[in-house]
Amino acid sequence: MYDKSLFHGQGDRSAKGVTVRGPVDVVIFEGWMNGFGALPDEELAARYAAASSPSAEDTPSTLVKYSKATLDDINERLRDYEDVWNAIDCFVQIRPLDMLFVWEWSLQVMEVWECLIEEVRQFIDRYMPSYELFQDGIDKESTTWHGKGLRFRVDSHRNIVKVEKF
């Protein structure tokens, strides 16, 4: 289990855990990167180049805060999750209408933990490039849950405003 409250909001693995012995019918994974799929190396290179180009200044990207080598490493590590993702029969996702809501929500949580705005920005900057690059992997036709996915789109107040099948 992951505990976001550890290390003043930076988070770490929890010392607590639960051992479950099967068989089990339902397993719930909670986490921001579930279902994210690795990209072909060429596609990652093209997206990074586009985000780094001078014409991209109008649409800022968090990708440029990291080296391409770092993003290549993340991409490679996502491949390690493919066996887990291939065991999923159906998928339920809660996705904000606008990814900027993630910033607002994180600020709200971090205020409770009394974090500074800069600490919140650094925390969010750690995972936003993955949203930009990899969350579309959830919708790929090659997933084991294709056609058995349900997405709840939420507004900035976390109200469900749309339900989509995928």
Amino acid at 134: F
| pLDDT reported for residue 27 | 85
Q: Which domains are seen in the chain, by residue range?
A: 35-165 (3.40.50.300)
Query: From CA 92, how far away is CA 118, in angstroms rounded?
Result: 32
Residue-wise DSSP of 99-162: THHHHHHHHHHHHHTT--HHHHHHHHHHHHHHHHHHGGGGG-TTSTTTTSEEEEEE-TT--EEE
Q: What is the pLDDT of residue 58?
A: 66
Mean pLDDT over 140-146 rounds to 93
Task: Give yes or no for residue 161 having a pLDDT over 90.
Answer: yes
Question: pLDDT (tens digit, 9 = 90+) per residue, 96-130?
Answer: 999 889 888 887 876 666 667 777 778 788 888 89
Give exposure, 118-132, as e/b (b: 16+ Cβ within 10 Å).
eebeebbeeebbbbb
The candidate with the shortest Cα–Cα distance to 62, out of 6, 134, 115, is 134
What does the pLDDT read at residue 8? 66
Distance CA 61, CA 82 (A): 26
User: What tens digit of pLDDT does each residue of 2-40 get?
Assistant: 777 777 666 788 888 888 898 988 888 888 789 999 999
